[in-house]
Chain A
Amino acid sequence: MRDRTSTAVLVAQVFVISLMIALFGRLFYLQIADGPRYQEAALDIQSRDIVTPALRGLIVDISGEKLATNKAGLMVTADRSILDQQNDDGKVVLERVSQILKLEFSDVFARTRLCGELPKEERNGCWTGNRYQPIPITKEATEEQVLKIVERSDQFPGIGAEPVSIRNYPSKSDERATHILGYVGPITEDDLNNELGKKYYRNELVGKAGIELQYDEALRGTPGVRTVIVNNKESVTRESKNIAPIPGNHLVLNINAKLQAAVEKELRDSVFRARANGYRGDSGAAVVMDLKGRVLAMASYPDYDLNIWENGITVRQAKELYSERSGVPALSRAIQGSFAPASAFKVVSLAAAGAANYNLANTYNCPSEVTFGDRTFRNYDSKPAGRINLVTAMAISCDSIWYQIAYDEWVRDGGLKPKPNPNDNFFKAAAGFGVGKRTGIDLPSEVKGRLPDREWKKSWYSRNKEFFCDYQARAQKSQLTPYLIALARENCLDGDRVRAGDMVNFSIGQGDVLMTPIQMAVMYGAIANGGNLMKPKIARAIVSPTNRVIKEMEPEVTGKLTVPDSTLELLKRSLRAVVTSGTARGVFSGLQAEVSGKTGTGQVFGRNLDGSAKDDTSWFASYAPAKKPKYVVVMMVSQGGFGATTSGAGVRRIYEYIFGENGKKAIFPNGPVSEIPTIDSKTS
């Protein structure tokens, strides 16, 4: 039947035409409608950026001595994408490599693991970069070792070697400056994703802590990028652009390496001295600043050799950095350690008393103890001193005078039912000295301590109310002592209010108030320089590789003390009296330089890991010379015992270095130095 055939042909024709239309439509969609997207995808496939990291700028001290340099190294890397294809995921290969490099296999193995693929507790020493970049096993291989690997490349699939520039901290003056300098490390996914407009390349090293992080942009320079077009075998077919790297700028610090080394040594010795005296002495910090806020030295104990990062950190080293047993060397106590300031805080109380219109020239009674309501507050040594003036009160560190004044002020402000606008002379004075506020030092992760004012109390209460009001059920068994239960009931009742005890404790720098050593230094610096709270500065200037000064860090005032000059004068006299006739007289006797300062011995509640009660925090905050101050020196030893004997003695010896006494050569014979040195870029 002809008709049926014709129909079949027609149907076929319609069908074929629709097939062709489908192809046209799809072609249009791919090439025109969606073309740009595919063009981009194609470019992604074909082009490769070969990034040559820029030579990182040097970090030098104020005399031009190099604190952080670059040196040539041989890097041995592992390519995980190849290793993972081995039957044993490359274990045998890594084992061979560790033998040649004389490294522990477990370290090499850990180093080549991505942090993300490990459980949290096993991440020590893991690789923070990603799978698709060669992972450094070491950067300090010898030529001989590399030759062994390269010559038998069939035995070492996925293992590569190349020359690299490695960051080196030479410690020429025996300084470590661990917490100042920080370190560099591979870029993480967070770095790549987080930064606002900053462009990183995968194989770049970036600052991870300290100055290396804070001034990363200046130090890093601009990496060179060569974009090439590759084929499916990844061989380069042509070059599309080539931008040479621009080396990073150098950074000059206010730090003096020799002083830094001395401060580190004296801090360490002070910690050991505390231990020799039977205290735990777990950690410490020391700061030396000039009156403009330039940080001349800053140490934190314990510290560690920064070179472990670039040399390839071992699992043990990585663990220790954050272990409490080894004192958490990663933590910079100077800016991240908050401690009760204790008597060193009394400068605030004296200013508060002045603001509250107490006659500062009067004498006040210093009994051995005072009682408010049902609580008794004792002097530190529980001894009465009779009627004394405030200079003497500071010198001998009488507590009871400040108890009395603080209590009276508290009552005047309404006690437990505070007036609508309480004077809060103590809180205001503390805030005026920068307590509870970050100093703004040019280092990352500074903490702000704590000013336990009325607002803080309220927020603290709202966070802990439920715990205290349900203490019996929620507290651990060991915490269920009658005293703590009573305390909890009290806290549940009126924990949102500043109580008499809070105020009384606050007046001697105890209770909830916490300060960092750097805050203490800024506070004493303000007293010494006539009332300016300075922003502490580690960096002095950014200097180009050709020694052109790009940016100078000028001193910055962040606040002014509201203390009248007369009070300031009294303060200075008191602080001088501490050293000449007070609590620090013994440890400073014989020192030519005239030092003014204050001891602090802070009680700490809480227990150590082994269950023993914590020892006192030892503080000494000071400046010198007394009449024309040039330096501020603060030392704090955690669980170090008495302020004078531990920290005071340490500060004294730091002054000996500064002024050149007791057989030491003066580090600053003509006062602090702030001229920008010429940097020799060539040598490493």
Chain B
Amino acid sequence: MQTSKSSRRVERKRVLLGTDPIINVSVLLLTGIGILLVYAATRDWFAANGQDPEYYLKRQLLNVIIGLALAYGVTLIDYRLLRAYTPIIWGLGVLGLLLVLIPGVGSIVNGARSWISFPGGFQIQPAEIAKLTIIVGMALILAERDAGAKHPTDRQVLYSLLVAAVPILLIVAQPDLGTVLIISASVIAIIATSGAKLRWVIGLIVLGISGAYLAVVSGEVSEYQLNRLRSFVDPFADPQATGYQLRQARITIGSGGLFGKGLFEGPQTNGRFVPEQQTDFIFTVAGEELGFLGSSLILILYLLILMRAFAIARRSNEIFGRIVTVGVIAWFSFQIFQNIGMTMGLMPMTGVPLPFLSYGGSSMFANMIGIGLLQNVYQRSR
């Protein structure tokens, strides 16, 4: 009894040591900065309304703790277990995506029906679960090969695409085009990494572009989203709504200058001139209060995680780990680029949160599980 307990402790210690420390530190720093920024974005606002100014701080802290636990949990999972659970989780994710489309179950936020609300103010976003299950599910299918086979068969590619297509179509229906864009990028990266024939990759890219075009033409893209696109092109076109938001975001970041206004000291942030500051526009808080130096630090931390992830992908000697890693990289990097790019006017407005920084449980958990997957592959490749 005594020995088995101590041996387990040793085992755990080994496991934790067997993770990439740079990723660990970067993620911890980012979530720490994120908690502070969420607090900075909400404390004055809540205090002014007579509510607990630390409300968001506490909730985000809890999100991070749960997220870290999930990440740690994922590092422990045997890949064979993944094989068993992934279809179930994928199914749950698809079910969730179906549920959000039912009026009364899914709640509309920013024009997209993407949340399931539970009593007590608890909400989950099935699309986040879908991201994970698509990456793992596709990897499982594509990695399955006969000994010596260098690339997946066309049938495998088709199956894997089917795994991705079902959730993607459901997310298109919400419509949450930001998430569609991110998942599509991951899908293409995964297919490319799997060693599938080049025509698959090219075909998917063409499909993605023409799909986007058709969506706009056929009216699948709502007026709401078109407005977002228009105000991206000309932020003054619709000064009250999205154009306003984008302009405010840009001004808020720009006014930070080199050193920023100091944490909690940003007048734009404290005046809440940028809507959704603690979620999708959290980077504006960093821009204003931490300035170019602080914002650059955030970008560098992201870059560190991504570069370490590439190293993991390269070092991994099994195709499954490599595909999962590249899938996660594509997901993270596109989501980061989409979100920060949006706040700085490089990308049109979509409602995707910034990994590790934005307030919110679902995305935090999904991101942390993504990190867990990276570390899992890292361990396996040692």
- B252 part of interface (Cβ distance < 8 Å): yes
- A19 part of interface (Cβ distance < 8 Å): yes
- A34 part of interface (Cβ distance < 8 Å): yes
- A612 part of interface (Cβ distance < 8 Å): no
Interface 9-residue window, one of B18-26, B61-69, B288-296: B288-296
In A541-578, the 8 Å CB interface with B consists of: none
- B270 part of interface (Cβ distance < 8 Å): yes
Alpha-carbon distance A303/B251, docked complex (angstroms): 54
Query: Do residues B273 and A46 form an inter-chain contact, with CB atoms below 8 A?
Result: yes
Query: Do residues B268 and A46 form an inter-chain contact, with CB atoms below 8 A?
Result: yes
Which chain A residue shows the least CB distance to B322? A5
- A6 part of interface (Cβ distance < 8 Å): yes
Alpha-carbon distance A672/B358, docked complex (angstroms): 82
- A356 part of interface (Cβ distance < 8 Å): no
A37 → chain B closest CB, angstroms: 7
- What chain B residues lie within 8 Å of A11 (beta carbons)? 192
Q: Mark A7-19, 1 if CB is under 8 A from B, else 0.
A: 0110111001101
In A1-53, the 8 Å CB interface with B consists of: 1-2, 4-6, 8-9, 11-13, 16-17, 19-20, 22-24, 26-28, 30-32, 34-35, 37-39, 41-43, 45-46
Query: Do residues A231 and B273 form an inter-chain contact, with CB atoms below 8 A?
Result: yes
Known A20-B303, A231-B270; judge A30-B250 contact (CB<8 A): yes
- What chain A residues lie within 8 Å of B248 (beta carbons)? 45
Query: Do residues A41 and B341 form an inter-chain contact, with CB atoms below 8 A?
Result: no
Interface size on B, residues (CB 8 A): 53
- A370 part of interface (Cβ distance < 8 Å): no
- B219 part of interface (Cβ distance < 8 Å): no
- What chain B residues lie within 8 Å of A230 (beta carbons)? 271
Known A41-B254, A231-B272; judge A2-B150 contact (CB<8 A): yes
B64 → chain A closest CB, angstroms: 23
Using CB atoms and an 8 Å cutoff, list the residues of chain A in contact with chain B: 1-2, 4-6, 8-9, 11-13, 16-17, 19-20, 22-24, 26-28, 30-32, 34-35, 37-39, 41-43, 45-46, 229-233, 235, 237
- What chain B residues lie within 8 Å of A30 (beta carbons)? 250, 253-254, 287, 344
Alpha-carbon distance A22/B342, docked complex (angstroms): 12
- What chain B residues lie within 8 Å of A237 (beta carbons)? 44, 267, 270-271
Query: Do residues A23 and B150 form an inter-chain contact, with CB atoms below 8 A?
Result: no
Q: What are some 9 contacts across the A-B interface (CB < 8 A)?
A: A5-B194, A16-B329, A28-B292, A30-B250, A30-B253, A30-B344, A31-B291, A35-B258, A38-B255
- B371 part of interface (Cβ distance < 8 Å): no
Query: Do residues A41 and B292 form an inter-chain contact, with CB atoms below 8 A?
Result: no
Query: Do residues B254 and A23 form an inter-chain contact, with CB atoms below 8 A?
Result: no
Query: Do residues A5 and B310 form an inter-chain contact, with CB atoms below 8 A?
Result: no
Alpha-carbon distance A621/B160, docked complex (angstroms): 108
Alpha-carbon distance A20/B319, docked complex (angstroms): 26
A50 → chain B closest CB, angstroms: 16
B210 → chain A closest CB, angstroms: 21
Query: Do residues B251 and A32 form an inter-chain contact, with CB atoms below 8 A?
Result: no
Known A5-B193, A231-B270; judge A39-B255 contact (CB<8 A): yes
Alpha-carbon distance A20/B271, docked complex (angstroms): 30
Query: Do residues B267 and A42 form an inter-chain contact, with CB atoms below 8 A?
Result: yes
Alpha-carbon distance A229/B302, docked complex (angstroms): 35
A396 → chain B closest CB, angstroms: 78
Alpha-carbon distance A45/B151, docked complex (angstroms): 57
- What chain B residues lie within 8 Å of A229 (beta carbons)? 267, 271
Query: Do residues A8 and B192 form an inter-chain contact, with CB atoms below 8 A?
Result: yes
Query: Do residues A32 and B257 form an inter-chain contact, with CB atoms below 8 A?
Result: yes
Alpha-carbon distance A215/B260, docked complex (angstroms): 47
In B307-346, the 8 Å CB interface with A consists of: 307, 310, 313-314, 319, 322, 326, 329-330, 333-334, 336-337, 340-341, 344-346
Query: Do residues A16 and B306 form an inter-chain contact, with CB atoms below 8 A?
Result: yes
Query: Do residues B333 and A45 form an inter-chain contact, with CB atoms below 8 A?
Result: no
- B96 part of interface (Cβ distance < 8 Å): no
- What chain A residues lie within 8 Å of B258 (beta carbons)? 31-32, 35
Query: Do residues B341 and A20 form an inter-chain contact, with CB atoms below 8 A?
Result: no
- What chain A residues lie within 8 Å of B295 (beta carbons)? 27, 31
Known A1-B150, A9-B313, A35-B255; judge A42-B192 contact (CB<8 A): no
Alpha-carbon distance A2/B340, docked complex (angstroms): 34
Q: Mark B272-309, 1 if CB is under 8 A from A, else 0.
A: 11000000000000010001100110010011001100
Q: Mark B188-202, 1 if CB is under 8 A from A, else 0.
A: 010011110010000
B314 → chain A closest CB, angstroms: 6
B116 → chain A closest CB, angstroms: 30
Query: Do residues B271 and A9 form an inter-chain contact, with CB atoms below 8 A?
Result: no
Query: Do residues B267 and A9 form an inter-chain contact, with CB atoms below 8 A?
Result: no
Alpha-carbon distance A2/B317, docked complex (angstroms): 10
Query: Do residues B346 and A26 form an inter-chain contact, with CB atoms below 8 A?
Result: yes
Query: Do residues B192 and A38 form an inter-chain contact, with CB atoms below 8 A?
Result: no
Known A8-B193, A24-B299, A230-B271; judge A41-B255 contact (CB<8 A): yes
Query: Do residues A42 and B252 form an inter-chain contact, with CB atoms below 8 A?
Result: yes
B82 → chain A closest CB, angstroms: 20
